[in-house]
Amino acid sequence: MEHTTNTITLRGQLQALPVFSHENHGRRFFRFTLEVFRLSGAVDLLPVIAEERVLNGIDPTAGDMLTVTGQIRSYNQRTEGVRHLIIFVFATDIVAEDGESINDVILEGPLCREPNYRRTPLGRDICDAMLAVPRAFHRADYLPCILWGRTAQEVADCHTSDRIRIVGRLQSRVYTKLTEDGPVERTAYEISALTAEILDWDQAGDD
């Protein structure tokens, strides 16, 4: 069985009570949004899905502080012939407790496309990368990551199938998309890397 690393721990404020999401093989799942503050004061609004039995251990009300542990998951949703990558947190444990905000992510997996390196007008190095993080039953979660500075430069030299280990946080980003009906505000989710380790560096560095 392939080694899998995909963990996330969040502590934030429950935006509203969980609502029913879907049922799968007799198991009921609920979704909610967690408000997780950054040190800068900005807030990430992060979608969480949890099985009913996980929620049964708490009795939350809107505004409660929750600690959520689990994995970051993805799936493709097709709307009007267009595919959208949906990112969410799959909760395996939830505890109601106060404390400082937490947003800790560890991922490991191969790059599933070539990294996209660029520099901002102010000269900051940025690299966008997509990891295919293995999951059970030969599945994978495709997770967009953004890297900065020297880490961005190093990952920019990697290629598809090179394995990367990323430590960072899950963040939300609101953007405006121009459509036939006019501008539409949407939210993207990505993992902002604090550190990145290129595994099997000799392979990653080969041309």
Neighbours of 13 (CB within 10 A): 16
pLDDT of residue 118: 95
pLDDT of residue 79: 72
Neighbours of 69 (CB within 10 A): 17
Task: Kindly state the percentage of the chain with pLDDT values over 70.
Answer: 93
Amino acid at residue number 146: I
For 79, the 3-state DSSP assignment is strand
> Span 5-102: which CATH code?
2.40.50.140
- Rounded to an integer, the average pLDDT of 31-54 is 95
For 99-126, write each residue's pLDDT tens digit: 999 999 999 999 999 999 999 889 999 9
Band of residue 1 on the pLDDT scale cut at 50, 70, 90: very low
DSSP labels, 151-190: HHHHHHT--TT-EEEEEEEEEEEEEEEEETTEEEEEEEEE
Which of 16-25, 43-52, 54-63, 147-156 bottoms out in mean pLDDT, i.e. has the lowest?
A: 54-63
Between CA 51 and CA 138 the distance in angstroms is 22
Q: Mean pLDDT for the chain?
A: 91
DSSP labels, 24-37: ETTEEEEEEEEEEE
Torsions phi, psi for 152 (to 5 deg): -60, -40
Tokens of 164: 């990367």
- Rounded to an integer, the average pLDDT of 191-196 is 96
Q: Is the pLDDT of residue 180 over 80?
A: no
Answer yes or no: CATH 2.40.50.140 is held by domain 107-205.
yes
Tokens of 130: 């997509």
Q: Is the pLDDT of residue 202 over 80?
A: no
Q: Delimit the CATH 2.40.50.140 region(s) of the chain.
A: 5-102, 107-205
Tokens of 180: 């036939």
For 115-172, write each residue's pLDDT tens digit: 999 998 899 999 999 999 999 888 999 999 999 999 999 999 999 999 999 999 999 9
pLDDT of residue 129: 97
